[in-house]
Every structure is written in C-alpha cells, then in structure tokens.
C-alpha cells in the first residue's frame, strides 16, 4: 500500500515523465497513482516494499540537491533531477531510474485514456467485439 507521501511523489513523477500536452492527453499524475494501487498487490511483499522505498528515495533525495522534496519542486527542477538519475555515473541510479520510468510507462500506456493521444485504437480483440465481428 502506498502512503499519502508516496502517492504525492508518484503523482509528481508521473506529471514529470508524462506531462499533459493537450486536453486529449492525460498527465501521468492523473493515471499512475491508481494504476500503481492496482498493480502493487500483484507483487511479492519485498517488491512492494522496494517500490515504496524507491519512491521515498526519489522524494527525499531531492533535498540534497534543491533543499526541497521532489514533489515540491517546479516541473523544470523535477525534470532535471530525474534526468540526473538517468544519466548518473553511478550504475545503481541509472538502473533505478530506468526501472521506475519503464514501470511508469507500462502502467501509463495500459490506461485507455492515453490511447487517443497516441493514435491507438485499442486491442484488436476489443475492436472486433465493438464492431460485432467476434
């Protein structure tokens, strides 16, 4: 289960990685907290704790660079902070960033609200059922 603080961090991470570019394009912060809430129970307890710890590290780590928590940073500083993780000389930081980014992308694009903005009509089986050709 994600705490309120971790949900706030996740919302900020989502809005940073997937900012809303139009009315048809929902921001990541609108989708990821719910998506993570549904996904995390499917993980083993140690993996759930790992995701929670990762979010805490992202949130608190920003204090050392910006004297503010990640969720309290401007969008530009949040983006620079995450880019720093992605291009770090430390392999651990790069791997952690990529794991978080890839998990966020998977959960974000599974949500049907994101599909119109990328021109995806949905799974072929669902389209066939909607057209009555199953």
Please state which of the ranges 17-21, 86-90, 103-107 shows the lowest mean pLDDT. 17-21
Within its chain, how far is the Cα of 101 from the centroid? 6
pTM assigned to the model? 0.87
C-alpha closest to that of 25 among 119, 114, 120: 114
pLDDT surpassing 80 at residue 69: yes
pLDDT higher than threshold 60 for residue 89: yes
Q: Tell me if 61 sits within 8 A of 70, measured CB to CB.
A: yes
Structure tokens at 93: 């930081």
Residue pLDDT, tens place only, 21-46: 887 789 999 999 999 999 999 999 99
Tokens 């720093």 found at: 84
Confidence check: pLDDT of 133 > 60: no
Q: Which secondary-structure segment (H or E) carries 56?
A: helix 45-66
| 35, 108 Cβ separation under 8 angstroms | yes
Q: Give exposure, 26-48, as e/b (b: 16+ Cβ within 10 Å).
A: bbbbbbbbebbeebeeeeeeeeb
Rounded Cα–Cα distance for residues 109 and 32 (Å) = 10
Q: Which residues are CB-neighbours of 123 under 8 A, at least 6 positions away?
A: none
């Amino acid at each position: 289960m994600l705490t309120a603080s971790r949900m706030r961090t996740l919302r900020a991470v989502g809005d940073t990685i997937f900012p809303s570019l139009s009315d048809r394009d929902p921001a990541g912060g609108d989708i990821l907290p719910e998506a993570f809430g549904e996904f995390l129970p499917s993980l083993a307890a140690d993996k759930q704790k790992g995701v929670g710890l990762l979010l805490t590290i992202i949130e608190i780590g920003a204090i050392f660079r910006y004297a503010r928590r990640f969720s309290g940073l401007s969008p530009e500083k949040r983006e620079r902070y995450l880019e720093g993780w992605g291009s770090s000389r430390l392999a651990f930081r790069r791997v952690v960033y990529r794991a978080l980014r890839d998990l966020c992308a998977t959960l974000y694009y599974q949500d049907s609200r994101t599909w119109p903005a990328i021109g995806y009509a949905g799974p072929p089986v669902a389209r066939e059922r909607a057209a009555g050709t199953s």
